[in-house]
Amino acid sequence: MTDDPERLTKLTMELRRGLLVMAVLEALVQPHYGYSLRRFLQEHGLEVDEGTLYPLLRRLESQELLSSEWQVQEGRKRRVYRLSGTGDTARLAMTDEWQSLNQALKNIKEATQ
């Protein structure tokens, strides 16, 4: 079987999408406007382009995991996003599940070495 770069890219992107939701929920424990959130994620090792981030924020808000409001910050009107109560519950549940899966993967890797 030869390596299929397109298939590998799709698998990697699928994993990244799920982790991006977790990262955004975690970052929004503190309110951010879009650009500050993007910069925060980047400063912490996660590159996200605007074409991915803003649709994700809208989707998470429509799922009632986030709320937003327009505020004037630094002399500019910006949409500020914050985690909702439902979003915080989801964040905690997703973190617990991720930690459990991460431990299981570690155990599997150790058993196959």
Instruction: Render pLDDT for 36-77 as a digit per residue (tens, 0 to 9).
Output: 999 999 999 999 999 999 999 999 999 999 999 999 988 899
In the predicted model, is pLDDT for residue 1 greater than 50?
no
Inter-axis angle of helices 5-27 and 50-62, nearest 10? 60
In terms of pTM, does the model score above 0.85? yes
- Domain boundaries 29-111, corresponding CATH code: 1.10.10.10
